């Protein structure tokens, strides 16, 4: 169970990006976080594994308080959180297998990492996962030879290799074409239930969010203003989430609709 309470993030001395935010995610739920650009979705996700340092508040994952860990403890704790990125963040010049195994870097010895002699157990697990998402035959290919959808599958497998307790996905489909994007969303949904894994997805595409998630969280200006089942997200709520003052917000709604 991930329990976020009173989470605040302020960059420099400006207005806080996250304002005393509370959120609890558990079970094998797939939770989508929607909201216009600048609403703080990406900051929220990165505050969970402290890629962005929260200013105050608490992040608790299955009994571990993340905000007070020192660097070494944080490294160990981060293994328990998988993350998938908008631009995949793969290492282009390495093979798919190396990219996938890089999810295990927190576990294996430096020597094994250097010589690419990964533990048998990890290799078997990698093949299983790669087969599950349909990229096993690419193991020896370089990551930059793959298409966008395939690359994101590598990203997902890398995160799952950590055997995470929760999966964070930051706009995982924003760089993909609509068809591939749906495939990745349904893959994430299926994996959530197969692996009993809670998944939090930042997403721009509200239609996709409604179709694939168990729960939708709407953010605006650093606060959660909607938190319910996808079916409850009606036009009024949408307007409230997206009808920001800045022109950018309106453009966002147009793009989604």
By the criterion CB under 8 A, which residues form the site for another protein? 49, 51, 74-79, 81, 83, 85, 87, 89-95, 97-98, 102-106, 110, 113-114, 116, 118, 120-121, 123-124, 126-128, 131-132, 136, 139-140, 155, 158-159, 162
Among 1, 9, 5, CA closest to 21: 5
CA–CA gap between residue 253 and residue 257 (Å, rounded): 6
As measured in angstroms, the least distance from the Cβ of 236 to another protein is: 36
247-256 vs 235-242: helix crossing angle, rounded to 10: 140
Q: Which is nearer to another protein, 139 or 253 (CB)?
A: 139
C-beta of 169 vs 209, nearer to another protein: 169
Nearer to another protein, 6 or 117 (CB): 117
- CA dist 171 and 84 (Å) reads 8
* Residue 127 CB, nearest approach to another protein (Å): 5
The CB-of-171 to another protein minimum distance in angstroms stands at 13
The 3-state DSSP class for residue 59 equals: strand
- Distance in Å, CB of 102 to another protein, minimum: 5
On whether the CB atoms of residues 235 and 203 are closer than 8 A, the answer is no
In whole angstroms, what is the distance from residue 202 CA to residue 171 CA?
Answer: 5
Taking a C-beta distance cutoff of 8 angstroms, is the pair 28, 193 a contact?
A: yes
Rounded to 5 degrees, what angle do the CA atoms 135, 136, 137 make? 90
Nearer to another protein, 106 or 246 (CB): 106
Closest CA relative to residue 101, chosen from 87, 89, 112: 112
φ, ψ of residue 219 in degrees (nearest 5): -115, 145
Query: C-beta of 116: minimal distance to another protein in Å?
Result: 5
Of the pair 2, 206, the CB lying nearest another protein is at: 2
Nearest distance from residue 106's CB to another protein, in Å?
A: 4
> If residue 150 lies in a helix (H) or strand (E), which one and from where to where?
helix 148-161
| Between 4 and 161, CB nearer to another protein | 161
């Amino acid at each position: 169970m991930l329990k976020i309470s009173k989470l605040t993030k302020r960059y420099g001395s400006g207005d806080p990006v996250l304002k005393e935010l509370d959120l609890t995610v558990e079970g094998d739920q797939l939770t989508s976080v929607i909201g216009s650009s600048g609403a703080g979705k990406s900051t929220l996700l990165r505050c969970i594994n402290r890629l962005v340092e929260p200013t105050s508040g608490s992040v608790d994952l299955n009994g571990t308080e993340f905000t007070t860990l020192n660097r070494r403890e944080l490294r160990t704790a981060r293994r328990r959180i998988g993350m998938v990125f908008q631009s995949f963040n793969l290492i282009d010049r390495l093979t798919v297998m190396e990219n996938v195994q890089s999810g295990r870097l927190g576990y294996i010895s430096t020597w094994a990492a250097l010589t690419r002699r990964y533990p048998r157990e990890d290799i078997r697990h990698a093949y299983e996962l790669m087969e599950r998402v349909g990229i096993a035959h690419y193991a020896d290919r370089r990551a930059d030879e793959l298409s966008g959808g395939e690359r994101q599958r590598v990203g997902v497998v890398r995160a799952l290799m950590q055997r995470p307790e929760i999966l964070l996905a930051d706009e995982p489909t924003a760089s993909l074409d609509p068809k591939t994007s749906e495939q990745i969303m349904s893959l994430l949904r299926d994996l959530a239930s197969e692996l009993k894994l809670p998944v939090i997805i930042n997403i721009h595409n509200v239609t996709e969010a409604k179709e694939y998630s168990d729960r939708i969280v709407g953010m605006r200006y650093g606060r959660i203003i909607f938190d319910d089942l996808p079916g409850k997200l009606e036009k009024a709520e949408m307007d409230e989430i997206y009808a920001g003052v800045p022109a950018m917000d309106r453009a966002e709604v147009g793009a989604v609709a």
